[in-house]
Structure 1
Amino acid sequence: MLSCIIVEDEFPAREELKFFINSNNNFQIDKEFENPIDALKYIEKNNVDVVFLDINMSELDGMSLGKIIHKFNKNIKLVFTTAYREYAVDAFEIKAFDYILKPYSEERIIKALDNLVEEFTDTNKNGSSKEFSVKKLTVNLDSKMFVLSIEDILYIEADEKETHIFTKDNMYFSKLKISQLENILSENIFFRCHRSYIVNLDKIIEVEPWFNATYILKVSNCNFKIPVSRNHVKKLKEILTIR
């Protein structure tokens, strides 16, 4: 799912845009802002895939904000939503993904959203980034389905026919293969440390040297120690700055 924010100081325009975005299951609106300065502070601290951005705003105009975002993170897709045609050239000079004129056309918004999904999907196929950055994962336990926040996952283990997802309280099951989970989970949070294991990097509390120049990992609220294969040692040392 693509994470996005809306930066728009007009309430009716913001509500209309929210309606169209929420109608597309590939998007999640993480935050909405009237003040572009607040939006910039949020972007600096959080992962954002798409910014829907008005131009005519107080304190900091949308075009200036777009230029700052582009310098800060060129991977963020900028979609300008404005009543002003004359800024289109400036928008595309900073490689804006789209430029949508108000009043909104439903067909135009839907096309822009579909193009965004296609762009991220193609990027994933080319190996440059993951298709979506998910924040929730649906798992199974005792014939019931539960929705987990990914930050609650300690680690994931591949079994012969299913995948086990461990939290501090339970072990859940998923029909997805561990390779599929690796592909949809954020690599900033999760690390494939072994053919059979993915670990939540935020949960690691101890790294122990093991045989053959490898490691085992201890995570919070768990007695089981997770192995790191030799093929993944170098990457782990880079991530955890092990010297």
Structure 2
Amino acid sequence: MFNCVIVEDEYPAREELKYFISNHENINLEKEFDNPIDALKYLQCNKVDGIFLDINMPELDGMSLGKILRKLNPDMKIVFITAYRDYAADAFEIRAFDYLLKPYSEKRINEVLESLIKSSENENDSPKEIARINKVTVFLGEKMVVISLDEIYYIEVIEKESMVYTKNQVYSSKLKISKWEEILPKPEFYRTHRSYIVNLDKITEVEPWFNGTYILKIKDLKFKVPVSRTNVREFKELLTIK
């Protein structure tokens, strides 16, 4: 449901707009105002999806009110209604959803109303961001095991499989290293090499290696993780190596 208000000081224009809105069951008119100051007071305490806003009004013109409302509610759909074309550029600057000219055209009003409904439906249908949790599922043989991300010491990619090293176990995963980069928190985890991601909190020693690179000794483990030449500079900055 798209919830809106009308701010229009001319009674006939307000009634005509109300009539067209009433023909659309997916639009709910919450309030109507003939005074922009009253509208502002209401909208400071109540959030709506959209507003039909006359431009030429006493006390506070619609363009000034639109600028205030854009700051109060950046997502609000503002549809300006006016008898003048001169304000179109200003409406564009405020990111108005649309600009209706008086006298109203039935076809034009219905087009705007349908666009508002469609826009609202698309926003509601858009996928919501999934809350990130500190867990990941990996394999131990045929068994699926859930481990905490902070249990991971480092990850090594061998051919098309990721080997996930913890203190006492090595797990496998079909996730690509690019996906691991995406899900592992930064800067705790760093990709030191095209085939390795390491938990920086688990590094105990940084040893100089050939061609100005490094090799990393990992807490509790014997294997050492390499740092490629292309990553050396960024790695030194992360660990403040001078």
TM category (shorter chain) comes to 0.5 to 0.7
Counterparts of 1:19 and 1:8 in 2: how far apart (Å)?
Answer: 14
How far the C-alpha of 1:10 sits from its partner, in A, is 0.2
Check the 8 A contact 2:36/2:60 in 1, yes or no.
Answer: yes
2:36 maps to 36
Deviation at 1:92, TM superposition (A): 1.1
Q: Is structure 2 residue 81 aligned with structure 1 residue 84? A: no
In structure 1, the residue matched to 2:107 is: 107
- Give the Å deviation of 1:106: 0.4
Q: Is the 8 A contact 2:47 2:73 kept in 1?
A: no
Question: Contact 2:40 / 2:65 at 8 angstroms: preserved in 1?
Answer: yes
1:132-171 alignment, distance < 5 Å: none
Equivalences for residues 57-136 of structure 1 within 5 A? 57-127=57-127
Deviation at 1:127, TM superposition (A): 3.2
- CA drift at 1:68: 0.4
CA offset digits 1:143-162 (Å, max 9, x no partner): xxxxxxxxxxxxxxxxxxxx
The equivalent residue for 1:11 is: 11
- SS class of match (1:127): coil
What residue number does 2:180 align with? Answer: none
Structure 1: how far apart are the matches of 2:75 and 2:96? 11
Partner of 1:168: none
Letter in 2 for 1:87: Y
Amino acid at match of 2:93: E
* Structure 1 CA distance for aligned equivalents of residues 13 and 29 of structure 2: 15
For 2:69, give the aligned amino acid.
I
Supply the AA of the counterpart residue of 1:80.
F
Which residue of the partner structure matches residue 56 of structure 1? 56
Cα distance in 1, alignment partners of residues 43 and 36 from structure 2: 10
Partner of 1:86, secondary structure, is: coil
Shift of residue 123, structure 1, vs aligned partner? 1.3
Larger radius of gyration: 2
CA distance in 1 between counterparts of 2:2 and 2:41 reads 20
Q: Supply the AA of the counterpart residue of 1:99.
A: Y
Report the residue type matching 2:38 in the other structure: D
Deviation, 1:6, is: 0.3
Give 1:37 deviation, angstroms: 0.6
CA shift for structure 1 position 47:
1.9
Which amino acid in structure 2 is aligned with residue 77 of structure 1?
Answer: K
Offset at 1:128? 6.0
CA distance in 2, matches of 1:47, 1:93: 22
Change (3 A) 1:15 1:127: same
Report how far residue 125 of structure 1 moved.
Answer: 2.1
How far the C-alpha of 1:126 sits from its partner, in A, is 1.9
Identity %: 60
| TM-score, length basis structure 1 | 0.52
Residue 25, structure 1, aligned to residue 21, structure 2: no
What is the CA–CA distance in structure 2 between the aligned matches of 1:46 and 1:5, rounded to whole Å?
11
Supply the distance in 2 between the matched residues of 1:100 and 1:127 (Cα, whole angstroms): 32
| Aligned counterparts of 1:71 and 1:90: Cα–Cα separation in 2 | 16
DSSP-derived class of the 1:121 partner: helix
SS of the residue 1:85 aligns to:
coil
Structure 2 unaligned residues grouped into runs of 5+: 130-242
- State the SS of the aligned residue for 1:37: helix
- Structural RMSD (CA): 1.3
